[in-house]
């Protein structure tokens, strides 16, 4: 097993870390503003199903980086789906 | 070079294809409704920068799957950034 970490590896880790947190600004904005009218529910349903596929893929590959990063994105996607329903009937001020 | 494609490989390709199109429902909804108030601009800026990092990573790895899938997501992210500015001052009906 190679333990040498190249600059390209580090770039991959940075990109992966950013990917994991992509949905966070949307979650924070929605929690703050309690308004979801313009948000696509379908986008986050697709994302959630997709993360489950990635987690299964990571499990088959025994790849904990894939499993854990996609588990974070799954949590954020499920949070957005919850918020979409929770605030569905509310008007923003 | 191994040409054997396993079921796990196929699962990875399916998951990757779905990932590529995750933002599409949001783009379609926004184009249709011309309302972006609830959309996080920061999310799509982070996504766009992140896709550029992934494309650079894919270029170093000479991995066209990474380059092309992230190029599609970059286009969808840039479209959302454009729509956010284009419809910023419009009220939805």
User: Where along chain B do its domains lie?
Assistant: 24-86
Angle at B22 between CA B16 and CA B26, to 5 degrees: 170
Other C-beta atoms within 10 Å of B47: how many? 25
- What ipTM describes this predicted complex? 0.86
Note the pLDDT tens digit of each residue in A15-67: 999 999 999 999 999 999 999 999 999 999 999 999 999 999 999 999 999 99
Q: How confident is the model at residue A89 (pLDDT cuts 50, 70, 90)?
A: confident
Taking the Cβ of residue B61 and every Cβ of chain A, the question of whether any pair is shorter than 8 Å is answered with yes
Contact B53 A8 (CB under 8 A): no
| 3-state secondary structure (DSSP) of residue A14 | helix
* pLDDT in the model for residue B4: 78
Tens digits of pLDDT across chain B (93 residues) = 557 788 999 999 999 999 999 999 999 999 999 999 999 999 999 999 999 999 999 999 999 999 999 999 999 999 999 999 999 976 544
Count of helix runs (H) and strand runs (E) in chain A: 4, 0
Distance, in Å, from the CA atom of A70 to the CA atom of A35, rounded to the nearest integer, reads: 26
Contacts of residue B70, defined as CB under 8 A and 6 or more positions apart, other chains included, come to B51, B54, B55, B58
What is the CATH architecture assignment of B24-86? Up-down Bundle (1.20)
Q: Measured between alpha carbons, how far is B68 from B73 in angstroms, rounded to an integer? A: 9
Residues 18-37 (B) with a CB less than 8 A from some CB of A: 18-19, 21-26, 28-30, 33, 35-37
d(CA B64, CA A58): 21
Q: Which residues numbered 62-91 in B keep a CB inside 8 Å of some CB on A?
A: none
Encoding tokens for residue B31? 């184009």
Q: Which CATH architecture has domain A23-86?
A: Up-down Bundle (1.20)
**Under an 8 A CB cutoff, do A38 and B36 touch?**
yes
Sign of the Cα torsion B38, B44, B45, B50 reads positive
pLDDT of residue B92: 46
Q: Which of A18, A40, A54 sits opposite B25 (nearest CB)?
A: A40
Q: What is the secondary structure of B60-81 as a DSSP string?
A: HHT-HHHHHHHHHHHHHHHHHH
What residues of chain B lie within 8 A of the CB of A22, using their CB?
A: 43, 46-47, 50
**Nearest CA to A48 among A5, A18, A11, A84?**
A84
């Amino acid at each position: 097993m190679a333990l040498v970490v190249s600059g390209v590896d580090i770039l991959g880790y940075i990109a992966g870390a950013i990917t994991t947190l992509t949905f966070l600004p949307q979650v924070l904005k929605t929690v703050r503003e309690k308004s979801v009218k313009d948000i696509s529910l379908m986008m986050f349903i697709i994302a959630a199903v997709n993360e489950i596929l990635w987690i299964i893929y990571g499990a088959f590959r025994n790849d904990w980086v894939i499993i854990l990063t996609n588990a974070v994105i799954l949590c954020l996607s499920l949070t957005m789906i919850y918020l979409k329903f929770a605030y569905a009937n509310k008007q923003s001020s």
